[in-house]
Chains A and B, each alone.
Chain A
Amino acid sequence: MSFNAVVTWWTENTRLIELLVDSLGQTLVMVFTSGFIGFALGIPLGVLLHLSKKNGLLENSALNKSLGIVVNIGRSIPFIILLVALIPVTRFIVGTSIGTAAAIVPLTIGAIPFIARLVEGALLEVPSGLVEAAQAMGAKPIQIINKVLLPEALPGIINAVTITLVTLVGYSAMAGTVGGGGLGDVGIRYGYQRFDGTVMMITVVILVIMVQIIQSVGDHLVKRVDHR
Chain B
Amino acid sequence: MIEIKNVNKVFYQGDKVINALSDINLTIKQGSIFGVIGSSGAGKSTLIRCVNLLERPTSGQIIVDGIDLTELSKQELTLTRRKIGMIFQHFNLLSSRTVFNNVALPLELAGITKKQIKNKVEGLLALVGLEDKRDVYPANLSGGQKQRVAIARALASEPKVLLCDEATSALDPATTQSILELLRKINKTLNLTILLITHEMAVVKGICQEVAIIGDGKLVEKGKVGDMFAHPKTALAREFIRSTLDLSIPEDYQARLQPTRIENSYPLIRLEFTGASVDAPVISHVAREFDIDISILSSNMDYVGGVKFGLMLAEFLGSEASAEQAIQYLKDQKVEVEVLGYVV
**A residues apposed to B, CB below 8 Å:** 127, 129-130, 132-140, 143, 147-148, 151-152, 154, 225, 227-228
Contacts and interface: CB of A to CB of B under 8 A. Distances in A.
Nearest to B98: A227
B95 A228 contact: yes
A225 to B, nearest CB: 7
B137 A227 contact: yes
B97 A151 contact: yes
B96 A225 contact: yes
Interface in B86-108: 86, 88, 90, 92, 94-97, 105-106, 108
Nearest to B110: A138
Contacts of B108: 147
A133 B96 contact: no
A134 B163 CA distance: 14
Given A135-B54, A138-B106, 13 more contacts: A129-B90, A130-B94, A133-B86, A136-B54, A136-B85, A137-B105, A137-B153, A138-B110, A138-B157, A139-B109, A148-B94, A228-B95, A228-B139
18 contacts: A129-B88, A130-B92, A133-B92, A134-B109, A136-B84, A136-B85, A137-B153, A138-B157, A143-B109, A151-B94, A151-B97, A152-B94, A152-B95, A152-B96, A227-B95, A227-B137, A227-B138, A228-B95
B324 to A, nearest CB: 57
Interface residues of B, number: 30
B92 A132 contact: yes
A137 B90 contact: no
Contacts, number: 68
- Chain B interface, >50% SS class: mixed
Given A147-B108, A227-B139, A228-B139, A135 B96 contact: no
- Chain A interface, >50% SS class: helix
Interface in B151-178: 153-154, 157, 163
Contacts of B92: 127, 129-130, 132-133
A137 B86 contact: yes
A137 B95 contact: no
A227 B81 CA distance: 28
A86 B79 CA distance: 48
Contact of A147 (B54, B75, B81, B109): B109
Task: Specify which of B92, B138, B154 lies most central, judged by the most chain A CB atoms within 10 Å of its CB.
Answer: B92
A203 to B, nearest CB: 40
A3 to B, nearest CB: 50
B82 interface: yes
A135 B49 CA distance: 11
Task: Specify which of B75, B78, B81, B94 lies most central, judged by the most chain A CB atoms within 10 Å of its CB.
Answer: B94
Contacts of A148: 94
A209 B263 CA distance: 89
Contacts of A225: 96
B88 to A, nearest CB: 6
Interface string B109-140: 11000000000000000000000000001110
Interface string B11-34: 000000000000000000000000
A137 B85 contact: yes
The 6 closest A-B pairs by CB, nearest first: A138-B82, A133-B92, A138-B81, A227-B137, A136-B86, A129-B92
Contacts of A151: 94, 96-97
